[in-house]
Structure 1
Amino acid sequence: MLLEAARSVIADRGLHATTVRDVAAAGGVAVGTVTYHFSGIAEVLAGVLELEMQSYSDPIWARAAQAASGRDGLASLLDGLLAPDDRAHEHWKLWLDFWTLAAHQPRYAEWQSRVYRQLHELVERLLTRGVEDGSLTVDDPAETAVELVALLDGLVVQAYLPGSRLDPARARAVIRRHLQRYASS
């Protein structure tokens, strides 16, 4: 309950404009309740992101893994992660705040690196499956996975920032064109 309240406040205001007092007010609890469970606002955001992975990312990843072909799985994954709706926008605003936090605090960077390894592994499995099922042609699935995730990150940063020239629909089109390079004829 407290993490859901924190999620809303942080997604709305941003990490650096959110205080423990704001989280407590949003959760309808005393400040002491928040500080009993969390050492500070950074730890609250880390908890929010763990919850985000379960509620937002995991279903997208699962749908991708269950797709009929490797190529369909990649398309499903990328479309899900670059969705045009408010939920996706909030998700990526939270991640953008977390990237900043992880850049300065090794314990959060370690968790974020683990999430990236899992994403790279999923993309690599989908690429490998695509080669095996004939829907993709890729020489090195591991290297291609790193490249696709890096492209995804750059598109996310641009597509979900206010006032950007690139919106999620256009970002999806960019990454789909890139994915088309690996399509089997």
Structure 2
Amino acid sequence: MAPHHPEDVRVKAAKTPRRAVAAADRTRQPTEVRRRLIVEAAVPLIAERGYASVGVRDVAAAAGVSVGTVTYHFGSVQEILSEAMVLNIERYYAALNEAAEEASGGAEALRLLIDALFTEDTDRHWRMWFDYWSAGDRDQDPEQAFAGGQAKRYEDWHGQIRALVERGVADGEFVCADPAGFTVRFAALSDGLALQRLRQAPPLSTEDARRHMYRLVETELGTGGR
């Protein structure tokens, strides 16, 4: 995470009315920087406590700013938490995409993707993802911001999986007449396994979750298993 500097987010509390130039500089120092600091502070709170248990005071305390600063930059707690979830999710999938792009082919890329989906460290990501998934149902969301965000995340995720399958088909590694259908099943199985792993009902290890994903790839795309 980017380091945060309390002095950047407390400028309104500083009593420097005569320092016009410095004040102007601080004003140009942007709202976006302050918003980002607040959002960055919200990410671990959501991961640790869950969306429903985080309030504006919690976010303000974590960011080292006043409640007024938070409410000045954000219209609601939901807006903060929506941005925090999107930030975490985009970082997570950007890292997966980078690893897949560096793979020698579609088969290796899918295996890297599966390995990265299920580790002890990714439990935090999955908790946030399912929280994000259900947040729009729990809260009033007249503009459908959460639903729109979820749809965009899924669209990007499906596009990434399908591109890897098509890459493997083009290289002669896979046999697949329906990359779109495979993509739906791959995404659905990964979501289902992640939820089972978090709930541990029934118990599921990261190794077993990966093994189920490998089997799907092997069965549908004709690759060799481990």
Cα displacement (A) at 1:120:
0.8
- Alignment partner of 1:34 is 2:70: yes
Provide the residue aligned with 1:168 in structure 2.
206
> Given residue 127 of structure 2, which amino acid in structure 1 is its aligned partner?
K
> Given residue 95 of structure 1, which amino acid in structure 2 is its aligned partner?
W
The structure with the larger Rg is 2
Q: 1:24 aligns with which of 57, 60, 64?
A: 60
Cα displacement (A) at 1:65:
2.7
Unaligned 5+ runs, structure 1: none
Change (3 A) 1:94 1:136: same
Provide the residue aligned with 1:121 in structure 2.
159
> Given residue 130 of structure 1, which amino acid in structure 2 is its aligned partner?
G
Give the RMSD, CA atoms, in angstroms: 1.8
Partners of 1:153 and 1:7 in 2: CA distance: 21
SS at match of 1:160: helix
Q: 1:2 aligns with which of 28, 33, 38?
A: 38
Q: Which has the higher contact order (CA 8 A, sep 6+)?
A: 1
Provide the residue aligned with 2:188 in structure 1.
150
> Given residue 128 of structure 2, which amino acid in structure 1 is its aligned partner?
L
Cα displacement (A) at 1:172:
1.2
Hey, which of these two has a bigger chunk of helix by percent? 1
Cα displacement (A) at 1:167:
2.8
Q: 2:127 aligns with which of 85, 89, 93?
A: 93
Matches within 5 A, 1:42-121: 42-85=78-121, 88-103=122-137, 105=141, 106-121=144-159
Change (3 A) 1:144 1:96: same
Partners of 2:202 and 2:44 in 1: CA distance: 23
Query: Quick check: 1:71–1:183 contact (8 Å CA) kept in 2?
Result: no
> Given residue 89 of structure 2, which amino acid in structure 1 is its aligned partner?
M
Change (3 A) 1:73 1:120: same
Unaligned 5+ runs, structure 2: 1-36
Query: Quick check: 2:136–2:147 contact (8 Å CA) kept in 1?
Result: yes
Query: What TM-score, normalized to structure 2?
Result: 0.75
